[in-house]
Amino acid sequence: MGMRIRGKMLNQVVMWAINQQRTDHLLKAMKDIGVPFRLMEGTGDDGKGSIKTWSQLNAKQLERVFAKLDLKAVLRDTWNERGRAVTSLPVAELKIELRKRGLPETGYKRDLVKRLTEFLQSDKIPLPGDEDEDEDVPILLVDNVVQLWKDFEVLAVAMKAKPGDSGHLSASSFKEKALCWGRSFRQVTFDEHVTPYIHTMCYHLPQFLDKYRYLNDLSCESVEQKNHTQNRRFHHGSQRSGRGSMWTQQVMEYENRDLFGILHDLDRKKAIMGPNAAQRRAALQEAQDEGEEQEEDGEEGEEQEEDGEEGDDDRYREDDGLWDDGDES
């Protein structure tokens, strides 16, 4: 769950960097902290047009990003001139604005936005107080995003901490901090950015914590890692669900072979291919043979030392008259 929420928040930063035309700063900041990251051009779901895509990081890389990424070097504060964008308003504020103008308050957020936009004949709403006044309103403040990331790390540590650890939180304390963080998330970003994972963390993880006291055993990270591995194998394969292909079965069979090798202590080595493969294979085999010879020499030396110690012991016992070779004198 922590990985999914971190991924969502990183995607927000990437989108803001694209909108602010600061992708070069983002790529440099990622390189500075040693996280592989790149932006790519892709096509839309309809196969037309061009959209930006980017690398999806694993759990360890996301933890490193949240610990070391300098957001202030990537993003800038953004201000909206002459009012607030209607789409940036939470549902509660949209209903208040609609009520002021005598408009219906029912429906999904997209319906409320459309209704208010059509009434105003603009995608921006005047600032409260004086509708004729022109003032700048903050859309994105980087300091708020930095604080949002820091507050989430407190919850992320608590989700893995065992009872008695420094980062462990009681169910009531976790719920209080999670709800506070959820409200901050909606204020700093947008309502539509709230995901089911965020809802679960705020409202259901405290219930699990109250019942089990330790949440890491309920983590989905192992399942997510398995899904990541199988996806990677599929996309790196040469047969991607072609006609008559049973790629799902092939991926599972691949996994079964891996498990069989682990259970039976089988070391499967990748074949050496490419230029000068024969020479490289011969050099590797020679090095392995030398290593085996050294191990055998070492074992022989140990055996000789043990035999010498036994001989000394036998002589000692004979001198003391303690050695019994089976004959009575």
Q: Compute the distance between CA of residue 116 and CA of residue 286 in angstroms, rounded to an integer.
A: 78
277-304: average pLDDT: 75
Rg (CA), the chain: 33
12-16: average pLDDT: 92
Collapse the DSSP code of 137 into the 3-class scheme (helix H, G, I; strand E, B; otherwise coil) and give the result.
strand
Q: Is the pLDDT of residue 230 over 60?
A: yes
- What ranges do the domains of the chain cover? 1-76, 79-138, 141-224
48-74: average pLDDT: 86
251 by Cβ neighbours in 10 Å (0-12 / 13-18 / 19+) ranks as: middle
Tell me if 224 sits within 8 A of 3, measured CB to CB: yes
pTM: 0.58
Closest Cα partner for 199 from 172, 187, 181, 223?
181
Q: Is the pLDDT of residue 189 over 80?
A: yes
Say which residues have a Cβ less than 8 Å from residue 81's Cβ, sequence separation at least 6.
134, 136
Tell me if 73 sits within 8 A of 25, measured CB to CB: yes
Give 51's pLDDT tier (boundaries 50, 70, 90): confident
* Alpha-carbon dihedral sign for residues 139, 140, 141, 144: positive
Question: Domain 79-138 adopts which CATH fold?
Answer: 1.10.720
pLDDT of the residue at 83 = 63
Start-to-end C-alpha separation, the chain? 83
Considering 43-47, 137-141, 260-264, the range whose residues carry the highest mean pLDDT is 260-264
Give the residue, 181 or 21, on which the prediction is more confident. Answer: 181
Q: Compute the distance between CA of residue 296 and CA of residue 287 in angstroms, rounded to an integer.
A: 14
Collapse the DSSP code of 176 into the 3-class scheme (helix H, G, I; strand E, B; otherwise coil) and give the result.
helix
Q: Is the pLDDT of residue 248 over 70?
A: yes
Q: Is the pLDDT of residue 128 over 60?
A: no
Kindly report, residue by residue over 151-175, the tens digit of the pLDDT: 999 999 988 888 888 888 888 999 9
